[in-house]
Structure 1
């Protein structure tokens, strides 16, 4: 295996990865916004990403929510509408098929995404590091409610800010905003799974958001094989065993169809 990115003809790489999969027991898929790009959901940090167009400090931070919840909710309502209209792509489906294929072995998805497309594709073992866009949380009483893409807008109107039915305070999207910590239980589980895995697929993540970007290092300490799938070079490409410059829907199908 070559470190630091393997480019060009992937036939040999795919064959090696298939052999590694057959000899391994514990798998983690660490996914970022890039895996949902082909579902029509914009990424955040690419050249055409959301944070090139919008200021996250005004639309996706805790300070922004406290000072102007309507503006933040307008932004999230538009994102929720977009996600409602999106469909799972072949990358989400390939991971779900792989999970079913190796039922007697361990397979988990640890995602930075808030779109729930992994669950809609049928993946069962999903850890959401940043929450999800169809949950709501009362920051006063702590009440949480979870909805789905097919019923969220049956319960909430884009004309109004959601209100907690228990304490009558404003609800916030149950996602991790800037200035907020990751959910501790999910983070502990993500670290444990990463520390125990034999193979980690890192798919569509820029790997520059902390602390989520430390998970590949936890896998590396366990001598796991790191397989990066990303059209772009990332800050951690140099530590990867395989770094495939392909779209996730295309390359995952090639890897898993014959596993």
Structure 2
């Protein structure tokens, strides 16, 4: 593709953004990579180094909650030290400039979208700074500023209601997505006219079915990802690069 053709496509996408009545940003771990948070899959992904069946599964948590919490404490510390990047910010700025038009459906648990300023965010896989009681179901939704003032890394969080152990408020392997969030994600995807798929490998089900809901509404699909995915063939436009590189260009 020539530079002129590339520039023309960018201009066309900008026009689509300007004219869209409902825009959905479906984001995965790749959008936070420029913030210093490793992705899970790929050559440098966390699951190349660690066993997800032990550290990020429900059965693993039941068997060894101390080990799982050790892993999540380390992730929380890393995320506390990170900051949102230009990709997160570009989405938040567009949402602020186009009230009621933009929604974020994220597979990420780092809350960097919210820290960048996004308000309409559906967390499909939960919030790493939340905890939920395994016994009574009591849930505390915290953020990166107050988690470590509430809990100590030297022990497993205990419920303030019944004193039983709590698990991270994230969707572990072997768990289903939260029903309310999934229903909202399906609705938003099925009613958008423009969907950006940003930094997602599109390998995780059922979240990877959301582009199909958008297609049923004849939405335009735009992929921003350094690598091709199994669903690249469905995209109307694909940009091979990072969210921090392309979103500020495409959304302004």
Which TM-score band (shorter chain)?
over 0.9
Greater CA deviation, 94-103 or 121-130?
Answer: 94-103
Structure 2 counterpart of 1:199, from 194, 202, 205: 194
Q: Residue 104 of structure 2 contacts residue 122 of structure 2 at CA under 8 Å; is this kept in 1? A: yes
Q: Residue 197 of structure 2 contacts residue 224 of structure 2 at CA under 8 Å; is this kept in 1? A: yes
Q: Note the residue ranges of structure 1 that are not aligned, 5 or more in a row.
A: 1-6
- What number of residue pairs does the alignment pair up? 250
Match of 1:87, SS state, is coil
Q: Does the C-alpha gap of structure 1 residues 8 and 237 become closer, same or farther in structure 2, counting only changes over 3 Å?
A: farther
CA distance in 1, matches of 2:199, 2:212: 17
Which residue in 2 is equivalent to 1:243?
238
Which residue in 2 is equivalent to 1:170?
165
Relative contact order, CA 8 A, sep 6+: which one is greater? 1
Detail structure 1 runs of 4+ shifted over 2 Å in the superposition: 7-10
Match of 2:61, SS state, is helix
Which residue in 2 is equivalent to 1:224?
219
Pairwise CA distance, 1:68: 0.3
Q: Note the residue ranges of structure 2 that are not aligned, 5 or more in a row.
A: none
Pairwise CA distance, 1:169: 0.7
Which residue in 1 is equivalent to 2:145?
150
Task: Spell out the pairing of 1:1-259 with structure 2 (5 A cutoff).
Answer: 9=3, 10-103=6-99, 105-257=100-252
CA distance in 1, matches of 2:235, 2:204: 17
Render the CA deviation track for 1:149-200: whole Å, top value 9, x for unaligned. 1111111111101111111110000000000000000000000000000000
Q: TM-score, normalised by structure 1?
A: 0.95
Pairwise CA distance, 1:13: 1.4
Pairwise CA distance, 1:22: 2.1
Render the CA deviation track for 1:19-45: whole Å, top value 9, x for unaligned. 112221000000000000000000000
Match of 1:80, SS state, is helix
CA distance in 2, matches of 1:232, 1:70: 36
Pairwise CA distance, 1:246: 1.3
Q: TM-score, normalised by structure 2?
A: 0.97
